[in-house]
Amino acid sequence: MASFIIRRFLISILVLLAATFIVYVLVANAGDPRSALYESADPGKEAKIAAMTRNLSLDVPIIPRYLAWLGGALGCFVGNCDLGNMATGAPVIGGLSVAIGSTLRLVVFALIIAVVLGVAVGMVTALRQYSGLDYSVTFLAFLFFSLPVFWIAVLMKQFLAIKFNSWLQDPVIPPWVIIVSAVVAGLLAAGIVGGDRRTRLIAAGVGAAVVAVIMTGLSLTDWFASPGIGPVTMIIMSVLTAFASTALIAGFRSRIVLYTTLATAAVGVVSYFALDSLLADPTTMLLLGLLVTALVIGAAIGGGLGGLYRSQAIKASMLTAFGCSLLVFMSHLLDAVPAYSAKVNGVVIATIGATTPNFQGDFWETLLDQLGHLILPTIAIVLISIASYTRYTRSSMLEVMNQDYIRTARAKGLTERTVVVRHGFRNAMIPITTIVALDIGGLIGGAIITETVFGWSGMGKFFNDALKIPDANAVMGFFLVTGAAIVVANMLADITYGFLDPRIRLS
């Protein structure tokens, strides 16, 4: 592994060197950044031309200029990074760091959500091939993939932001919405569960009834005006998390694993009450520390009570601990919604920008403000990305599930859950890993259209503004970050291949 990483690192350095030289020469010859000043009637244009010439070293030939830039870029490996100045005279590092932070905040959530949902939906449709669910998801995937992102953004601004914020003033769910939602939930439940007609009808009825009861309760209790989880819901959701973790990791035949996850859920419920005052106004480091502590406690419970199923019990208990921690986090976040809504005049879902100007609040209110500005651009990116992940996962799962070793696993008497999760899904993730690695570099490069529509000053806007001038130093700073991200992501993908499929050797 060490030999592979060193070899790939050296090759990547050579690739980046060649690529940076080509890009620098192309940008440097794309035009004179001083051309607009030459035509200006500004009496101080001579001083501005001289300043831009000095900032971008335009009086130096291209090759020596590139070598000077390369020397500063190589300093990044020893902690002395110097990517030169932009046309305005500001350091490239300063503008780049702001753009990277804004873009990472946008794309990380979108990528995680798109991958998780896309892979999950792709798996289900592969296991229910040629069913109504499969045809419906396939149609929606092609539809979302074909829609222009700017058109989706305009619709979301109108219906998901403006009208939703207005509806929150009197959050009563109309009966027709409850009926339509119940019917859709019933159809989804029937498609996911599968089986004979009787089983599908029962699943459809249960799914529709559950959704109808929940939405009616939320409407009658005016939950959206003052949202929260509460002790009873916390207990119910923690128990459901324990059952879901057991079903995913070990199956319900392993009763010991179920007992360990229920014990972990009980600890999570206790922490919900015990940490109430501590989480009133926490810090990010405190939350991360509590999450690590919860995972360690979950692993200890799984290891102590797991017995012969210790390995599965540890994984299931840690997953339960993570789910319970997420519930506690969501509880405190929802409790802060009324106070935050009052401070922003009811504009809970923002339509433009990354934050509310001059907003001041505690930790939870500040986090709500950032999340409120993330909702629309995240959904826009997810709708486009989830379509491709769904289709790739479905195709990969169908190919894997028809392999000889899958038939052998079934012939050995393994449960369908074990066959699908441990044998099928693991190998089906190899092509998905490649796609995710490529998408990481693309997303870090910035979603120019999305950032423009929603007013985000991220990497896309940074690159677009630099290219208009053209500002070679700023463009090269952008290229260095995105190129390094693609190289690292592909290296991690190659390493992941070896963990997913032991037949793949990296030597």
Q: How many CB atoms lie within 10 A of CB 314?
A: 22
Ranges of H-type helices in 402-454? 404-411, 416-418, 426-444, 448-454
Ranges of H-type helices in 148-254? 149-155, 163-167, 175-193, 197-220, 230-249
Percent of the chain with pLDDT over 90: 26
Token pair listed for 366: 């500040």
> What does the pLDDT read at residue 209?
94
> Comparing C-alpha atoms, which of 275, 274, 318, 277 is closest to residue 295?
318
Angle at 476 between CA 473 and CA 481, to 5 degrees: 130
Q: How far is CA 436 from the centre of its chain?
A: 11
Tens digits of per-residue pLDDT, 47-66? Answer: 888 888 888 888 888 899 89
Give me Rg for the CA atoms of the chain. Answer: 27
> Comparing C-alpha atoms, which of 357, 355, 354, 349 is closest to residue 376?
349
Q: How many CB atoms lie within 10 A of CB 221?
A: 10
Cα gap 423→26, rounded to integer Å: 48
**Residue type at 465 in one-letter notation:** D
> Comparing C-alpha atoms, which of 116, 52, 108 is closest to residue 84?
52
> What does the pLDDT read at residue 445?
63
pLDDT along the chain (507 residues), means of 10: 77 86 88 80 81 84 89 80 83 87 83 89 87 83 82 86 88 92 89 80 92 92 88 93 90 87 95 91 93 95 90 93 95 93 89 85 92 89 85 90 88 85 85 84 71 83 86 88 84 80 64
Token pair listed for 177: 């919405």
Cα gap 306→188, rounded to integer Å: 35
Residue 1 is inside which H or E element, if any?
none
> Comparing C-alpha atoms, which of 212, 222, 161 is closest to residue 184?
212
> What does the pLDDT read at residue 216?
93
> What does the pLDDT read at residue 499?
76
